[in-house]
Amino acid sequence: MPFGQAVERGIVAHQALSYYVPCTYQSLLAVGVAPDKMRFRQHKADEMAHYAADCWDAEVFLDRLGWIEIVGVADRTDYDLKAHAAVSKVNLSVFVHYDQPAKRERLVVKPDFKALGPRFKAKAKAVGEALKALSAEELAAAKEESIRLTIDGEAIEIEPSLVSFETVAEEIRGEEIVPHVIEPSFGIDRIIYSVLDHSYYEDAVDGEARAVLRLKSTVAPIEVAVLPLMDREELAGPAKAIVQELRARGMRVDYDTSGSIGRRYRRNDEIGTPFAVTVDYETLEQGTVTIRDRDSMGQVRVARWQIADKLSALLSGQLKFQDAGDLVAGAKKE
């Protein structure tokens, strides 16, 4: 159901929490967590932290471990700021203005400082401030019995004769609110492991196993591998020029000449490199290069001068691989 409906039905505590839960979902999808292996589970009453009003865990399924938590999104209410304020003695509330002022009657306590001074001496001011800070409920109870305060760790009892009470009418233009805290807690190591687990894939090429990490380009350590067909100077020069051009465009690029072109493709498949650019003798003769797609192993031929723009569009998702250039026949036989 839509999150708005979940809030209306009381399944999710409130709108702020219903904002962070789908944001968490979108973030995990963006880095490569598989949607069919992810779920959100609400904490049960007996596992909820004492300060929490609601909490949702993002859980993922891993073949070796089953369902594990990778993100927790908790509504910690006003517990954190109230705890800080109590220790630091700093007011951490905010004043929220009403659209229209409201009138109300309020019970106030009026300490008798002439009596408090001789009685409590140096602590008289602190006693008076503590009396004025009493809540409406505490004041109502205080009218019926002695007031008990704790000042600097000392328990103090205030007899009714030391104070008086008065009901005053006042105009309320707003109220002091202690903000609540929403805590999205991301387990980065678990998320990385989950992305690797969900991205790993194996297939066979010419009877040999091929290991592939289908990482999204946004998180792949290397976005483009530039590979001269052979380690020869006439191919290395143009290949290195492409490396510099792509790096100048902000791409994460690796240059590799070690081993056969097929082995270099495999190495880059295994570490999750989305695209490989191959510089060969057609580059010298016709001014074209090959772009190879990691997942399909398909190859397209594009003009050398277009390579940076084409790769930028491919990495951002603005261009589909099959539309990037002329498909190379038989490219899967590597």
DSSP string across 200-257: EEEEEETTEEEEEE---TTT-S-SEEEEESSS-HHHHHHHHHHHHHHHHTT--EEE--
The CB-based long-range contact list for 157-165 (8 Å cut-off, 24+ gap) reads: 158/127, 158/131, 161/112, 161/115, 162/111, 162/112, 162/115, 162/116, 162/119, 163/109, 163/110, 163/111, 163/112, 163/131, 164/109, 164/110, 164/112, 165/107, 165/108, 165/109, 165/110, 165/139
Listed residue (8, 137, 17) closest to 77, CA to CA: 17
CATH match of 206-327 with 3.40.50.800: yes
**CATH 3.30.720.200 spans which residues of the chain?**
94-177
CB-count burial class (<10 Å; 0-12, 13-18, 19+) for 163: buried
- pLDDT of 310 reads 96
Per-residue confidence (pLDDT) for residue 328, from 0 to 100? 83
CA distance 18 to 7: 7
Domain 94-177 fold is: 3.30.720
- Asked if residue 332 has pLDDT above 60, the reply is no
pLDDT tens-digit map of 128-168: 777 777 776 776 666 666 777 777 777 777 777 777 777 77
pTM: 0.73
Instruction: Residue 74: count other Cβ atoms within 10 Å of its Cβ.
Output: 22
**pLDDT tens column, 294-329:** 999 999 999 999 999 999 999 999 999 999 988 886
DSSP state of 8: H
Digit-coded pLDDT (tens) for 156-202: 777 777 777 777 787 888 899 999 999 999 999 999 999 999 999 99
CA 137 → CA 108, 133, 134, 172, distances in Å?
Answer: 11, 12, 8, 18
Comma-separated ranges of CATH 3.40.50.800 domains in the chain = 206-327
Residue 333 has pLDDT above 60, yes or no: no
Mean pLDDT for 244-253 is 97
